[in-house]
Each structure stands twice: as structure tokens, then as C-alpha cells.
Structure 1
Amino acid sequence: MSAPYPISLCGEELWLLPEKAVYWPAQQALLVADVHFGKAAAYRSLGQPVPQGTTQQNIAVLDALLKALPCRQLIFLGDFLHGPGSHATATLQALAQWRARHRDLPMTLIRGNHDKRAGDPPATLNIGVVPEPMLLGPFALQHEPNPYPGRHVLAGHVHPVFRLNGRGRQRLRLACFRIGETVSLLPAFGAFTGGYQVERDDNCRIFVIGDNEIWPVTL
């Protein structure tokens, strides 16, 4: 696991992780958004030539985080499976083997838009599924980044990336955390998910992920 970047939000310490997740020490909770398990398999089922191995790559990162961090719960902020085509045998077998390695860890999925199309994870994975929001401490844990009265929203869905401009024509689009006044966005955890460019303003903080580190944007 790479070095975390602690921030303070609503009186709580959160660790931004270069692995594109958030760890909440007080709750011993790992928060992950937009894994989109089986996305590549879904595309291949439609005849699209896309990379293989993304499910195993995502699982390997999760395994490393769960080994390195004391976790009492793993919370997915929506879009666990990508779509109906994600129920490929190889994908579900890999997920079953992964779940067996962490059989005693409570896991919760906050249902996202792709989960509604894909269907809930198989019951054998023993992942609790709830609608948004999931209220925990000062936060409303959601998939959609919609404000929630009296709580700070931690959400996914957007797959935020930020563009850094260098000299000349140098450009970098990096996955990022966007920490706002009332709504904050987690980057997409999945290895094959794409991204939507977000902007920085006076009401938010941007933390980009590069070279396995978290970098605050101070432009």
C-alpha cells in the first residue's frame, strides 16, 4: 500500500489513498467507489476488443488494502458490477474466491445506477445492498453526488479527473479526489473506467493521484 494523505473533514480524519479509495480510521472503514467489476467482460460479450485482467487487477489492489489497513467494514459507493454482461462465469468465480478470503469482513454496497442495470451482486458474496444515502457519522455515503441536508456527502459516479497543464503542450489528466464544501467526490476505483474532468474553484480542494502518491493542487 502506498502512503496515505490524511485530511480533516467535518471533524473527522480521512485518509486519501493513492489506490483511489478513502480510509476512515475512526470507523475502520474502507470506502471504494465505482469498481465496475466485469466491465471488460461486458464489452467483450458485445464483441469489443478490450483488455483482459482488469477484475484480477482490481481484486489485487483491494487485497493489498485490506491486508495493510485494520478494517471493520468495506463500503462500496455504488457501481459494483458494470452491467448484465458482468455476470460472466470467470468474473463471478474470481469475486467468489476473493470474498472467501475475507469472509468475516462486513461489506455493504450502496446501490448505484449501474447496479440497477446489472442487478445486485450474487447472494453468495454476502454483500449487503442498501439504497442511498447510508448515514454514518457526519457523512452521507452515496453514489450520486447530490447534497444531503445536514450531512457532508461522500460520493462516486463522476469518475473525477483533473487536467494539469505544463510547459508548451504538456498535459496530464489524473484521477483525483474533489473535496467540496458539502459534497466530495471519490475517484473511480476500477482499472477500466475512464474519467470526467472536474475544475478547481475557491470552494473545493483537489488532490490528484500520480506516481503512487497524493498531490494537492495549489494552482
Structure 2
Amino acid sequence: MIPHLSIELEQTELWLLPDKAIYWPDRKALLIADIHFGKAAAYRRLGQPVPHGTTQANLQRLDALLDRYRCEQLIFLGDFLHAPESQTPATLSQLLDWRAKHPELAVTLIRGNHDRRAGDPPASLEMTVVPEPLLLGPFALQHEPDPHPSHHVMAGHLHPAFRLHGRGRQSLRLPCFCLGERVSLLPAFGSFTGMMEVDADPGRRLFVVGGDGVWQVA
């Protein structure tokens, strides 16, 4: 089993997973941010030479997590589909095949900015689609990292990363979980996404993801 890192946030145990997701054991819930299905397809339709196979690769990673952890809920924190051009027959066919393998799984999408532009996933995917925030326990599950008046926000959108510095001019930028006092960020799950560097500010815990591990750097 790939190791996870257990942390406490708002008196709740959460597992930070090396595959850039959070498992909430008490709720048997898997939280995923910014998977951006169909991003490569959207770029190819614009004439950009980008790789094939990103949707299948993301689905395989997702399946591996669902096999490894006992999940009753899968919650996407926004940006499930990348753009209107993402709803190609090939992409939707792969998503439908994946959904058919998990008929008992409750899947929820909290609309993000890309979802509002791309449109809701087809009803055949049997997903519950809601606006932000989704209040669950002590958390406001959102896409945008805007503070909530009463709940700790868990969000995506920014694709956080932290730069590790070595000797001389050597450095390495890695995706990270960014846990703040009132707002926390998940790294982007999608394999074809950019990243935004965050700093180790006071009151913020940073956990980078690399290889098969998660470790705290601030």
C-alpha cells in the first residue's frame, strides 16, 4: 500500500495521499480537486500538439485509490471537465465506462469555474452537481478558496506547489497540500495541469507530494 500521511484539521482526521487527494476516513470520502478531464482534447481541437491518453491515465489513478481505500463518497472540488470542447465522444465514452464500474459510489461535483463554462456532465454519469459551498462536517467544500463565515474551507482552483531549494541554483517544484488557519488547498489531481507556487507563510502548513510519499516542509 502506498503510504499516506495522517493529519488533524478542525479536530478531524484526514489522510493526505501521495496521489494528490485527501481521504476522510470517518466519512469514507475521497476528495479530488481539479482533475480537468478532456483538457488535452480541448487543446487538440485548437490545433495544439498535446499528448493523448491523459483521461485514461487519470481514471486509472482514480481507480487505484478507490480500490485501495474504502470509499462510499467521491467528491470533486470543481473543474471536472476543462472546457466545452472536452465533451468529445471519446472522453465521454471513457467516463461512462469508468462510472459503470462503480455503480454504488456516490459521486458529487461542486461546480468550479471551468465547469460553469464546460457545462454539467451528462446525466448518464449519475453525478450530483451542486454549487459551492458544500457544507460537510466542519468543512466548506469549495472550488474557489474564499473564506467561509462558519466553516473551514477546503478548496482547489490554485493548483498549489512549493519550490524546494538545494545547493547552488538547484531547485525542485512539487505539488503540495496547503493547510491554512481558515482555508486549505488541495493540489490539482489532473496529470495535465499547471501549478502555482505558494510560500511558507506563518499559520500555514505545507505538505509536498513526491514519488510515493507526502512530507511536511513548513
TM-score using structure 2 length = 0.99
Cα distance in 2, alignment partners of residues 108 and 94 from structure 1: 18
Q: How many residues align?
A: 218
Corresponding residue for 2:58?
Answer: 58
Q: How does 1:31-180 map to 2 (within 5 A)?
A: 31-180=31-180
Corresponding residue for 1:7?
Answer: 7
Cα distance in 1, alignment partners of residues 35 and 27 from structure 2: 21
Identical columns (%): 65
Cα distance in 2, alignment partners of residues 120 and 2 from structure 1: 33
Q: Which amino acid aligns with 2:76?
A: F
Cα distance in 2, alignment partners of residues 169 and 126 from structure 1: 49
Per-residue deviation, 1:215:
1.3
Cα distance in 2, alignment partners of residues 157 and 111 from structure 1: 11
Q: Which amino acid aligns with 1:179?
A: L
Per-residue deviation, 1:159:
0.3
Superimposed CA distance per residue, residues 12-41 of structure 1 (whole angstroms, 9 cap, x where no aligned partner): 000000100000000000000000000000
Q: How does 1:183-198 map to 2 (within 5 A)?
A: 183-198=183-198
RMSD: 0.7
Q: Which runs of 5+ in 2 are unaligned?
A: none
Cα distance in 2, alignment partners of residues 192 and 2 from structure 1: 22
TM-score using structure 1 length = 0.98
Superimposed CA distance per residue, residues 147-197 of structure 1 (whole angstroms, 9 cap, x where no aligned partner): 001210000000001111100111101000000000000000000011011
Cα distance in 1, alignment partners of residues 51 and 180 from structure 2: 34
Cα distance in 2, alignment partners of residues 95 and 2 from structure 1: 25
Q: Which amino acid aligns with 1:148?
A: H
Q: Which amino acid aligns with 1:64?
A: A
SS in 2 for 1:6: strand
Cα distance in 2, alignment partners of residues 84 and 189 from structure 1: 20
* 4+ runs deviating over 6 angstroms: none
Per-residue deviation, 1:105:
0.5
Q: Which amino acid aligns with 1:86?
A: S
